[in-house]
């Protein structure tokens, strides 16, 4: 069985929020600002739920992660539509429509003066019922936003982050709604990332239940095998990320062939470039997976630049030619 860890190997907070990570280190329950909560803007510290909320016990919650660049939320409506689809997969409907949720996301960014940051919508079942069945529970929706320049520090990102293959596996589509952003699906991601950090890595590589390469704990993965072709696992048991699809489009615009296929762990030693994609990590080079090492190359760098240009992170004239 995978090692779930004990009190003796829990890392201190200062070691996690350190030079390898570039996230806000303030506690998330004790901040100034506002959170949009069931249709109202409430003070940050007052956005609370009851301990007997169904979602806390049975993971009946879905969420999104969105990035704000220069005051604009990148692909906001796509994220909102995916939130609604995730909710439907878990058997409930959001109490607000797409346009209302989009407007609320903008509202919370304005209320917190977010120019470059992160937006987190969350929908969950409330406390009206306590048990596996919860069909009479109220559906809640909250949206928070905070400054978040980068998931990894600039230094770690440019040298390539280090991944460790996790002992936990992505489940079969027959066992869970694997193509949603359902809270319960991230339990094994947390376990995997904690184990990787404990061993000195930044993140973990997840295989699927068949032993195939799937993704990282919160990002999709791409490989170059010494040619000009991008290879990426078929998203049949994990999230087909919005950033993933964006980068595939950018690559094809550059004339780079993209092949979605089965990728096996014994191919890792043949890869010459590896990178991750995700809303939080954007396009991040991978420097190593277990004992295999990689150097960020031209394709990785070009796609990093193209992505930053697309989201408005840097001026168009700062992007190098292919």
The strand pairing partners of 123, in sequence order, are 62, 141
Dist. CA 319–CA 322, nearest whole Å = 9
Dist. CA 118–CA 33, nearest whole Å = 14
**Catalytic annotation present for 181:** yes
Outline where 67-113 has alpha helix (H): 76-89, 98-111
Dist. CA 285–CA 302, nearest whole Å = 12
Q: Do the Cβ atoms of 128 and 50 come closer than 8 Å?
A: no
As given in the structure block, the two tokens for residue 52 are 């007997």
Nearest to 112 by CA among 169, 19, 182, 42: 42
Catalytic residue among 15, 19, 179, 181: 181
- CB 201: neighbour CB atoms within 10 A? 20
- In terms of C-beta density within 10 A (0-12 exposed, 13-18 middle, 19 or more buried), how is residue 36 classed? buried
Q: What residues are labeled active site?
A: 181
């Amino acid at each position: 069985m995978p090692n779930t860890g004990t009190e003796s190997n829990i890392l201190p907070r200062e070691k996690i929020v350190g030079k390898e990570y570039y996230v806000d280190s303030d506690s998330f329950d004790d901040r100034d600002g506002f959170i949009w909560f069931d249709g109202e803007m409430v003070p940050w510290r007052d956005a609370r739920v009851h301990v007997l909320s169904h979602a806390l016990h049975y993971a009946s919650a879905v969420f999104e992660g969105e990035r704000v660049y220069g005051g604009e939320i990148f692909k906001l409506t796509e994220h909102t539509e995916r939130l609604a689809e995730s909710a439907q997969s878990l058997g409930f409907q959001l109490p607000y429509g797409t346009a209302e949720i989009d407007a609320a996301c903008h509202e919370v960014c304005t209320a917190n003066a977010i120019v470059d940051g992160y937006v987190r919508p969350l929908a969950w079942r409330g406390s009206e019922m306590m048990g596996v069945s919860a069909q009479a529970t109220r559906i809640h929706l909250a949206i928070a936003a905070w400054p978040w320049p980068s998931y990894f520090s600039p230094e770690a990102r440019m040298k390539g982050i280090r991944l460790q293959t996790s002992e936990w596996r992505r489940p079969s589509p027959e066992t869970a709604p694997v193509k949603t952003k359902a809270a319960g699906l991230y339990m094994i991601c947390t376990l995997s990332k904690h184990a990787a950090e404990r061993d000195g890595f930044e993140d973990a590589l997840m295989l699927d239940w068949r032993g195939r390469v799937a993704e990282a704990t919160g990002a999709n993965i791409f490989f170059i095998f010494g040619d000009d072709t991008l290879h990426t696992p078929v998203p049949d048991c994990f999230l087909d990320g919005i950033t993933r699809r964006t980068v595939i489009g950018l690559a094809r615009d550059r004339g780079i062939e993209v092949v979605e296929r089965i990728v096996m762990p014994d191919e890792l030693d043949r890869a010459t470039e590896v990178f991750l994609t995700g809303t939080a990590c954007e396009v991040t080079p991978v420097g190593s997976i277990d004992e295999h090492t990689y150097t960020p190359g031209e394709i990785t760098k070009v796609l990093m630049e193209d992505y930053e240009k697309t989201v408005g992170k840097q001026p168009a004239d700062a992007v190098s030619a292919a």
